[in-house]
Amino acid sequence: MSGKEPGDVVIRKNDTVVLIKDITSCRDATGAPVAEKGERTKVLAAMPGENKVILENTAYRWRHVRPSQQNPRGGRIQKEAPVHASNVLLYCEKCGRGVRVRMKLVEGKKVRVCARCANVIPVVL
């Protein structure tokens, strides 16, 4: 069986990805998006069930925390927020850009292959 199936996960933790859309939900003090189209970043966590990824230094949300024993003052904590997986492309070292990915059987194992140059994209652990 070759090809991508519904259960296949293309983007995984520690992958390098390229943003294909500005992340407008998070803006800096001037009103400009924190993460812009074309930026390369690292995946901190992947949520395949929700089809979302958490990216490094890209999207932030404020979490309002009640006072507790661990945090006696309470207050606001800035946390990284998930981004939909359709807004990123996997980065191919050989092509030097974000690419679509195909799944292929190589020696009985499914591997990720660059759709442009057919280079195998390894899984970084």
pLDDT tens profile 86-105: 999 999 999 999 999 999 99
What is this structure's pTM? Answer: 0.79
Residue 86 backbone phi and psi in degrees, to 5: -75, -10
So what's the pLDDT on residue 34? 74
CATH of 16-62+76-121, one of 2.30.30.30, 3.90.220.20, 3.90.226.10, 2.40.110.10: 2.30.30.30
User: Across the 125 residues of the chain, what is the mean pLDDT of every consecutive 10-residue run?
Assistant: 60 94 73 81 93 90 92 90 92 94 90 93 84
Segments making up each domain of the chain, as ranges: 16-62+76-121
How far from the centroid of its chain's Cα atoms is residue 99's Cα? Answer: 13
Distance CA 82, CA 47 (A): 9
